[in-house]
Structures are given as C-alpha cells and as structure tokens.
Structure 1
Amino acid sequence: MSAEQVPETAPEDPFCQDPDPRTYPSGRLDAGRCSVQALLAGDSPVATAPPARRWLLVEQPGPWGRDALLQSRFDADVAPRLAQRAREAGLRIQMVRRPGERLADSGGRWAVADVLAPWVRWSTRATDAELLDVPLDGSVGVQSDGPTFLVCTHGGHDACCAVRGRPLARSLAGDVWETSHLGGDRFAANVLALPTGHLYGQVPEDGGGLVEAHGRGEVVLGMLRGRAGLTPVAQAAQQFARVELGLVGVADLPVTAVRSVPDAAEGTERWAVVLTGPDGDVPVLLESRLSAEPRRLTCSALRPGRFRTWHPLAVGSVPVGSV
C-alpha cells in the first residue's frame, strides 16, 4: 500500500449513540467494539503496559496504515532499515504527530526515551535517512523538562483508538502528541506518560486529571495499566501495593526482587515480589491465570482469545483486604 492510499481517518463504522453519555463520553460507540466490550465486562487493565524500556519517537504527520512506520509518508527506503536498527538497539518505535498537525507543519522531530532512567531527549532531522546514522543512546538532543503525553489515535490499527483517542488528544493540555499503536486496543483511549512510562487506559475525553497528576509527580491509579519497562509481574505487584498503601508518587515502590513461587494450583502462576517502600521492603504475593472466557481482544480479531488476569494475595505480608 502506498502512502497516498493510506486513509487519513479511520473507516466509517456504524457507531451508535450510547444511551448513557456518562458511560461513554465519546458518544459514538457500537456495542460490538472491543473497547465497549471491555468496559461492559469490567476487564482489568492491570499489568498490560509494554515491557519496552527504551523508545524511539519519530514525528510523521499525515496518515498511518496498520504498520505506521512502513505505511506512512516516511521514506519507504529508510523505514525497514530504521526498524532493523531500532530492534538491534532495543528500542520500540512510535510514530508521533501533533493533534491536527498538517504535513507541512512537521519539524522533523525525533526523540529517544528511557522510561526507567527516566528521560526524553529531542532532536530534529532534515531527512529521514539521518536516523540511520544518529546516536540512539540518548547522547544527543535536548531533554524535556516536564511530562509528555502520547495518545494512541492509530485508527489504521483499531477504530476504537481513533474514535476515543483523537478527541482526547485535542482536549489535553501540555506537551501532547498523537501516537501509533501502544497495545491494548480494548482499553482505548490509551495514553503513555513520558518520561516515566506510565501507561493509562480507558481515559475519558476530559483526561481524568491525568495531566494535573503528572504535573505533581503522581499517577492516577484508577486508569493505570502499568509502567513500561517492567515485566507484567512487577507491574501488577506495584499496582496492588500502590492501592493498598495509598502511594501515588511516580517513583514510589521500585522493584528489587521477583521470584516464582512453586505449588500454585493448576493453570495458575504464583509470584513473590519485593518492592522498596518509604519504610523498608514491601513484599507482595500475587497470582496470575488466564481469563475464564475468551473474547475478541481487538476489533479486527478473527477469533476470541483469552488474556492473563492478576490477583493480589498479600501486600506487606498481610492478606489483601486486611491492611
């Protein structure tokens, strides 16, 4: 598919008005959509952030196909070589654009982020080919002082991301970018907060206080999917400890140890995780198992699938519910 053939917007779909606008602020959502089904089923987004620690952000206005790097107006000869270079360097690529940005408005910006360090450093390019030679280790560029928000609006990947994400991207204040696929389409609208890598799902159109919270150096627990750069086990343990202990600082509860616990029930995995709290170690015991019922996990899924769920057993050596 050529760049000219990639649609600027998501295909038209028979979205219908939800009878309760408090439930779906975007208003136009068909009941069969993956994000609607996840909301109705009460799917937990816990521990669903990508494990990638280092990210490459590449500004590219205009339409994106399903593969945003290869199916966009980015140089078609450079794109596969950049993808290979990023894989070898351990970077995940995100295409980004300002909300409503036209092709002529592009500043050729690009950035490398390390979400556990954490930092984001921005540079500019005159040509796409420059990205094949520039350092990708964060040794160049200007470091961002405040939080940056990447809102998934990738309608070429899943319509839910466009329908929920684009109004959100337009409404958020601060350093906001639209971005390509972040994963977890059924949790749209999805937002990645940099430099810390906290990923949020089912974010309402008004942002749910996300920008204000990160301006204070805090997370928003009710929408938090997890922190990129950590394994799902570590993300889940951190989330459960935050809820039990009321700790919302972006740097709270770093992970110091993770080990598998034997003798879990069949089909269940049990883990022991140690976090560092303000008063010492915080042990967390948790279980993981596959969902009981399969379901379409994206709007384009050909068949239903099952997903992993996480369940806290004890936080700080105290059974959950007794703290």
Structure 2
Amino acid sequence: MAFGWRCTGVGWPGEVPELRWSRGRDRRVSVLAYGGGLGFRVVGERHCVGARGNVCPLGAVVPARSTGARCAECARLDRAHSVAADTMVDDPRTYRVYLAWFGPGMVKVGITREEREAARLREQGAVAFSWLGRGPLMAARRTEEVLRAALGVPDRIPYARKRGVRGQLPGAEERFAEVAELYGRAVELEGRGWPESLERLPLEVVDHVGIFGLDRAPVAARAVSELVEGGVLAGRLVAAAGPDLHLAVDGEAVAGKRGGDGEGVDGGGGVVVLDTRLITGWELAAVGPGAGSEAGVPLIDIAGGGVQGGLF
C-alpha cells in the first residue's frame, strides 16, 4: 500500500514549532514561522500512524475525530512503553518534576526526562511553568503522586479547556504569582512523602506567552473539530501552543456546508485553531493561503495572506 507524506503532528524541540511528516520509515520536518502562510487539502483516508516509530502493520483506517490517530493494537503498544504506564521502573535516566500553569486556576504536576529539557512543557501548551525537583524515575513519580493528592491538582487538563482560556490570560505578574504560590505549597510537603532521592530545584518561572506568539495574536473564535477528505484549510500562522496552530484565515479560506452538532463552516474569516493531533495520519497536499474548498472543514465556536511556505 503506497502512501504520500503523512503528518505526524507538531513538535517543539526548541522555541520554534515544527510539523513532522512520515512516509513509511522516512521522516522529515517543516519548521513553522509566525506570519508565514500555511495551507493544505486533505487527501484520501486517515490511517494509523503506528507506534514507537514503527509503521502500522495493518495500515488501519482510524476515525476522523481521534486525537491519537492509532488503531487499537498500536495504541496498546505505544502505551505499554510510555513512562505514564509505570512499566519502566528500571529506567536509569534522570527525571524532572514540574509545575505547569495553563490559565487561572488551571495547573498540573508532571514529570519529564531531564534530557528533554522544557520540550514536554511546550508540547502541552503550558503558558508558564517552574521546575520543582530532579531525581530517579520512581522518586519523581512518587513526588508527582504526593503533590497531586496534597495540592488537589489533576494529572491532565483537556486541551479544550486550555484553548478556551488562552485568549483571556492575565498579565505576566499574575502568571508568575500563581506558579510561585503553587511552588511554595509544594515545597512545604518536603519530609511528608517527598522522596529523599529527589533533589529540590529553586523556583524559576518560565513564561511561554512570547514563544507561543500569544502576546501579539488576535483572539481565536473557532476551532477545527475534524478533517474530511477534500477539505481545505489555509491562512497565516499567528500563534501556536502545544499541538494547536492559530491560523488567521480570510472569508474564502474555510468554506463548505453546515455540519452537525452545532458545527458549521461559514467562511467568516478570523482566527481558527487547528489541533494538529487531528491532522496526524492524513495525507495533506499544499495549497495557497487564499484557497477555497468544496467539502469544507467543520468548525466549532470557542469564543466567550502571504505565500505558502514550508508545509512540505
């Protein structure tokens, strides 16, 4: 079964996002730039992206609204080798515990490999964060569990909630203060379930608003709910946070018929959020930022031009 290049999502290896692509075992990336044009037409069916760098042996078709883009077997294999599955107890690498802030009252505790630095925080769309400690995997995991229970914070925050508050973020001082307050509550727990092998790190709040472009981008009012064969989305990249790309589109960039469940495509322009987890597994053909469409891309309401560059 022959495929063209299929998107595997957005990566944040540094302070600039990049789209990643695969074709069989071949890999490539497209570095993204704010202000640059970005547009595509959906081609064919959506297929499983495989697991752990391996091609799906079945070439399975996956649902359009799935954010994982994996068939059941590949999803099981990917999960079995993840840190979250607690199957890597003998992992010798150093891990870091972090406190991540996504919006007012929206915080979480997590862990990541030290060698990845802050890539995990950018991938999650953390608006601000601070490191809390470093040490062996199981010590980091134990600290994470203790803090979740003691501080009453969740292990994950849905992306719909994150993007829902992104357009009404408080100022830098308030963001810093909320992370610092959480850090203070966390360090008070030293000696009460905090493993001795976990080294506490000093408070140092890192703010991603500038890196994400949220300090200069218009507020997004709509988001893509799924892709369909033949659908087109094209515009100018104005911001990005985690897997979300914020595209400024004109009245012709998103067009098509009304969708179900209160969804629709009206060609009204503005800023549209594309969760790139929805484009993984699709083959995408490049189009210009002013392209119209016949089938359209369904959008949902989340409110309260240039030349195509580097898509392939």
Is TM more than 0.5 here? Answer: no
TM-score, with length taken from structure 1: 0.26
TM-score, with length taken from structure 2: 0.26
Higher RCO (C-alpha under 8 Å, 6+ residues apart): 2
